[in-house]
Structure formats: structure tokens, C-alpha cells
């Protein structure tokens, strides 16, 4: 174990990974380390037998979190700057698509950072404290709703000295809500007979015709709402029991968290780390969307460079349950208080890293420079499948890769006569209530597949007559394409665009029309930034400001 840790170079950098001045890239560059996967035995030895080694691993993780947190402050302000005016249209990307494909940020994280960037414009004290590294991301998000006006200074001072738990309690006492927590998700799994699957598919398609912008999860919500609207109930079932799943969440334990804060004297034994200031980037002085994009890519590359270290050390801490030895109730508790980051993103990174340790194919994909989001998508596959998907993953955008993988999973589910959908707790609870009512009305403990089919048939009987069966050409185009066909767009097609404008002699033939979202149709194409030529749906070529374009892409590592 000592040899393995020494080869990684942790001991050489744990005091301060980088303190050199100079260029932006050099100032925020991580140390170069050999991050070889740990075996289960090495993890046990690291955290149960090698206290010094464990301290070095934990110290480097804390440094990685500080550097990433500092970079994310500037990224937040950059995302806010991109949302102003027509800057996103000039890049032909929705904010969430740009953040995912270019910056490596998932939708919810990007939205939270963009909101933070917007709010910091009117919170100068909080902005200064965050940029100096005195207030970290999770604490800032907690007080964002109350640190306003004359109260801002007092809340910033609290955020510098109190734990996240104490801040959350103070915000509740002030009668305000903090940053919304990530909702727990429940994996729904059901076996369906052919006739049941047919009913569920027809109902989901019908819900999509009524509201094309809705995804599968939201359509299931609509089906459940319609059934409960006709058959109201006061039942409050346990979604995990009713739907046969298991919640992926850790129970809240405020009392235990408070006790550990006292017992450890706010974790006084842990290594004290200096603040890491945010990069001195002034997006308010940049007018060009292309220049904002260039700087954001720089920030993202610096953040991504730390990502491997953060994921590697987080996986070791999580898998070895070192957070318990360090005096935290859970990995979530450790992420919030020690790392100063929201736990969901760190946990996803750690889980993917743990999977990589067990997968030679994922290790090969990582060596080839595949971005984290694509590694995360491939990590869901069985080991024999990963290698054949790597070339596709390199060629596709993240959203295109996800759709292909989901399509493959859908075909496999149909062959197994099953349905598997992850649901947020709110929708899972609603669907569970509808399932419980179906069983009560039937007077029998019907299987979940039969209950879903009953809910689906009720929706079909209620709404089938409301959908016009004679479809316009525009509807046919949108039904054919489903999603906006602009490369990298994750939004539904809600409008049809004539590839060759009718004013230029183009006709209404289906191969001269393409399904687009309103943003790409009205702001990007008719705004003069984006152009498409060719024949739909498979022979289209896209041009952004006259240059061939295949969607938003991250810069090379």
C-alpha cells in the first residue's frame, strides 16, 4: 500500500498542490499524479491501517474541492453573462446543452451556477467573500435567499463561520427557503405482458401528442394525475413499497450531525487548508459571446483537470467509508461540511470512478480522453458492451450518445417485456398513490404492470378523442423527428422549419422540413446565426456563422 500511494505522488503535494504565479493555466493546474485504481484490500489498508496515507488522500481531496469551487465561482458568472442578450443564440446552444457538452456540467448544476452568477450581481459582499474563498459554494447556496439588502453582511459573516447544518437551521428560523436539495430518485421496475406494454406505450404516446415538450417521466406523471383526478384518494403510500423499488437516499440525521460537530470540535483534527481565490475574470467587461465562450472553456479545462483527482480521492473516501472515521454521519455530510460542495455531483463522480476501477474497458476509454459525462453514461453498461460503444461515444455529442443508449435499453426492455424508469420522489409518490387506488378498486393485489396498464387505459379512454387524427405536415415533421434536430440539442421539436425557405422557392414536402425547438428556430436560424441545408431527415448539414458545425463540443484535454 505504501508503495502504491507513493507512486501516486500524494505525499508530495498535500501541503499545497500549487502556489505558483503566472498564467491562468499554471496557477490553477493540479499536480500530475499516477492515479492507479485501488483494490479492496488496499482501500482497507489505507483507511484502517495507514492513518498517514489516509490523511494524504483526504487532504488532496479537500484541495481538489477548493480549487474546483474557486473555478466554479467564475464559471457561474460566465454562465450568467452568456444568458444575456443573444449570446447563447450566437453559440447556437441552450444554456444546459452548452454547459453539458462544452463545460462538462449537468443540467441541474449548470442552472444552479447560472442562478448564483445572476444573484451575485446584486450581492457584492457575498461575491467578494466567495471570490476570496472565505465562503464556499454550498454555504453560499444555502444563504442565497436571505443574504439581501441590509441583511447581506450578517449572513456572509455567518457563512464564513457556521456549518452548513447551522446555516440551514438559521435560514429556516428566518422563514426562508435555502437552495433546493436534489430530490431523491426511485428506480421503477415492472414486468408487463404484451397487451399491458401496448397500453402503456399508447398512453405515453398520446400524452406526448397532447404536450410534446414532456419527457417520459413527466408523461407518467400526467397519467397518474389523470387517474387520481377521476378517482381521488387520501392514501399516502410508501413509494418504495408500493412500486417495489428502493430509494437512493440517506436519511437525514440532524441530531447526529450536531453531536459530531461538538465531539470533533468542528473536525479540528482535520488538516487546515488555506482559501483558494477565484480566477480574476471580469465577464462584465466582455461583450463578445465568442470571448466569453473562450474564457469559459479555459475555466472548464482547469476544472476538468482537477476532476480526475477529485473523483479518485472521493471514490477512495466513499468506498473505504473514511468519512465515518473522520467524524461525519454520511458521505453527503462530509461533502457539504468538509468539501463545501453539493453532494450529488461528488457522489456521481465517485460512483463512476469506482466503476472505472473494476472495468478495463472504462479505463481504456479514460486513457483515450473521453469526458466524464460520457464515461458516466458508458459506466451503466455491462462490461462486454463498453468497448464497442467507445468509438460511438467519441463521435457523438453527450445528448446523442444518451439517446442511442436509451434506445438500445428500450429495445432490450421490450424483449424482456419490462419497463424500467428512474423517477424523482415527487412523481414516484404520485404514481404510487395511483397504483394503490387501482389495487383498492380491484380488491386484489395486482401486479405493478397490470396497475400501470389500468392507469394507461383510463388515460386513453379520457383523451383519445381530443387528438386530431388528420395531422398537418408540421405535425408529421415533429412526430418524425421527435427532438430538435440541431446537433447537441436536448429539447423537443415544437416547430417545423423549411430548410429551403418558401420565400426562396422551397415547398412543403416532408424532406424540406425539419423539427426544431423554438429557440433554435426563431432565435438562431431566423436570427441569422445558424443555417441548415440538405434534405431531411438524414442529409442535413449545419453552419454556424458560415462555418460547418456539428454541435457544441468541449475543447481537447
3-state helix, strand, coil in the chain (%, to 5): 60, 5, 30
Domain residue extents for the chain: 185-247+415-466, 473-548
Cell numbers given for 18: 500549487
Separation of alpha carbons 92 and 101, rounded Å: 12
Helix (H) or strand (E) holding 25: helix 24-27
Which residues, 6+ apart, have CB-to-CB distance to 512 below 8 Å? 498, 499, 500, 506, 535, 536
How far are the Cα atoms of 80, 111, 390 from residue 97, in angstroms, in the given order?
A: 15, 11, 21
Cell numbers given for 158: 455567518
For residue 138, give the nearest of 184, 178, 96 by alpha carbon: 178
Cell numbers given for 517: 425547438
Separation of alpha carbons 57 and 338, rounded Å: 14
- Helical segments of 420-472, H only: 425-442, 448-463
pLDDT score at 6: 45
Separation of alpha carbons 47 and 356, rounded Å: 20
Question: For the chain, which ranges sit under pLDDT 70?
Answer: 1-25, 44, 46-53, 176-183, 235-242, 244-252, 467-471, 555-557
8 Å CB contact between 66 and 133:
yes
Buried b / exposed e over 343-353, threshold 16 CB at 10 Å, is bbbbbbbbbbb
DSSP state string for 92-136: T--HHHHIIIII---HHHHHHHHHHHHHHTT-HHHHHHHHHTSS-
pLDDT score at 557: 45
Question: What one-character DSSP code corresponds to residue 45?
Answer: I
How far are the Cα atoms of 81, 299, 545, 556 from residue 290, in angstroms, in the given order?
A: 12, 14, 12, 17
pLDDT score at 23: 56
Which residues, 6+ apart, have CB-to-CB distance to 444 below 8 Å? none
Which residues, 6+ apart, have CB-to-CB distance to 450 below 8 Å? 196, 438
Preceding omega of 159 cis (within 30 degrees of 0): no
Separation of alpha carbons 456 and 462, rounded Å: 10
Question: What one-character DSSP code corresponds to residue 493?
Answer: P
8 Å CB contact between 15 and 292:
no
**Secondary structure class of 531 (helix, strand, coil):** strand
Supply angle C-alpha 425, 349, 183, rounded to 5: 15
**Secondary structure class of 511 (helix, strand, coil):** helix
192-244 confidence digits (pLDDT tens):
999 999 999 999 989 988 887 788 889 999 999 999 999 987 766 666 666 76
Cell numbers given for 190: 415492472
8 Å CB contact between 140 and 116:
yes
State residue 320 phi and psi, 5-degree precision: -85, 0
Separation of alpha carbons 96 and 339, rounded Å: 25
Cell numbers given for 235: 392514501
8 Å CB contact between 529 and 521:
no
Amino acid at each position: 500500500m505504501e508503495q502504491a500511494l507513493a507512486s501516486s505522488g500524494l505525499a508530495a503535494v498535500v501541503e499545497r498542490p500549487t502556489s505558483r504565479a503566472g498564467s491562468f493555466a499554471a496557477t490553477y493546474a493540479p499536480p500530475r499524479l499516477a492515479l492507479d485504481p485501488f483494490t479492496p484490500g488496499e482501500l482497507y489498508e489505507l483507511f484502517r491501517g495507514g492513518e498517514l496515507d489516509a490523511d494524504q488522500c483526504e487532504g488532496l481531496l479537500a484541495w481538489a474541492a477548493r480549487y474546483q469551487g474557486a473555478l466554479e465561482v467564475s464559471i457561474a458568472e460566465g454562465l450568467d453573462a452568456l444568458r444575456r442578450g443573444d449570446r447563447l443564440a450566437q453559440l447556437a446552444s441552450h444554456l444546459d446543452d452548452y454547459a453539458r457538452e462544452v463545460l462538462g456540467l449537468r443540467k441541474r448544476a449548470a442552472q444552479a451556477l447560472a442562478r448564483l452568477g445572476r444573484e451575485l450581481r446584486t450581492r457584492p459582499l457575498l461575491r467578494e467573500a466567495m471570490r476570496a474563498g472565505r465562503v464556499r459554494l454550498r454555504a453560499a447556496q444555502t444563504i442565497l435567499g436571505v443574504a439581501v439588502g441590509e441583511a447581506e453582511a450578517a449572513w456572509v459573516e455567518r457563512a464564513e463561520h457556521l456549518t452548513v447544518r447551522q446555516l440551514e437551521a438559521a435560514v429556516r428560523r428566518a422563514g426562508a427557503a435555502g437552495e433546493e436539495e436534489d430530490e431523491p430518485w426511485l428506480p421503477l421496475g415492472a414486468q408487463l405482458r404484451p397487451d399491458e406494454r401496448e397500453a402503456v406505450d399508447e398512453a405515453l404516446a398520446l400524452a406526448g401528442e397532447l404536450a410534446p415538450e414532456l419527457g417520459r417521466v413527466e408523461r407518467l406523471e400526467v397519467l397518474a394525475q389523470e387517474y387520481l383526478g377521476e378517482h381521488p384518494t387520501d392514501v399516502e403510500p410508501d413509494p418504495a413499497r408500493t412500486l417495489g423499488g428502493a430509494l437512493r437516499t440517506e436519511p437525514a440525521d440532524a441530531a447526529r450531525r450536531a453531536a459530531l460537530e461538538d465531539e470533533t470540535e468542528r473536525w479540528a483534527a482535520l488538516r487546515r487548508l488555506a482559501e483558494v481565490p477565484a480566477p480574476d475574470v471580469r465577464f462584465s467587461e466582455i461583450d463578445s459571446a465568442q470571448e466569453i465562450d473562450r474564457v469559459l472553456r479555459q475555466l472548464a479545462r482547469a476544472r476538468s483537470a482537477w476532476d480526475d483527482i477529485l473523483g479518485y480521492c472521493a471514490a477512495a473516501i466513499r468506498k473505504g467509508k473514511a468519512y465515518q472515521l473522520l467524524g461525519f454521519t454520511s458521505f453527503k455530510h462530509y461533502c457539504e461540511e468538509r468539501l463545501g460542495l453539493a453532494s450529488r455531483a461528488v457522489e456521481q463522480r465517485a460512483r463512476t470512478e469506482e466503476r472505472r476501477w473494476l472495468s478495463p474497458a472504462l479505463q481504456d476509454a479514460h486513457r483515450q480522453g473521453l469526458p466524464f459525462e460520457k464515461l458516466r453514461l458508458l459506466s451503466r453498461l455491462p462490461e462486454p458492451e463498453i468497448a464497442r460503444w467507445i468509438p460511438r461515444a467519441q463521435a457523438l455529442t453527450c445528448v446523442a450518445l444518451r439517446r442511442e443508449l436509451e434506445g438500445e435499453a428500450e429495445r432490450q426492455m421490450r424483449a424482456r417485456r419490462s419497463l424500467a424508469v428512474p423517477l424523482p420522489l415527487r412523481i414516484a409518490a404520485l404514481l404510487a398513490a395511483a397504483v394503490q387506488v387501482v389495487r383498492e378498486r380491484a380488491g386484489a393485489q395486482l401486479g405493478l404492470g397490470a396497475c400501470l396498464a389500468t392507469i394507461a387505459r383510463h388515460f386513453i379512454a379520457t383523451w383519445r378523442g381530443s387528438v386530431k387524427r388528420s395531422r398537418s405536415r408540421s405535425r408529421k415533421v415533429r412526430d418524425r423527428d421527435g427532438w430538435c434536430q440541431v446537433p447537441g440539442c436536448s429539447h423537443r421539436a415544437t416547430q417545423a422549419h423549411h430548410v429551403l425557405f418558401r420565400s426562396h422557392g422551397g415547398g412543403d414536402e416532408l424532406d424540406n422540413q425539419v423539427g426544431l425547438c423554438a429557440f433554435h428556430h426563431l432565435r438562431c436560424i431566423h436570427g441569422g446565426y445558424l443555417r441548415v441545408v440538405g434534405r431531411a431527415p438524414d442529409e442535413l448539414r449545419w453552419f454556424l456563422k458560415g462555418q460547418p458545425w456539428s454541435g457544441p463540443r468541449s475543447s481537447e484535454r
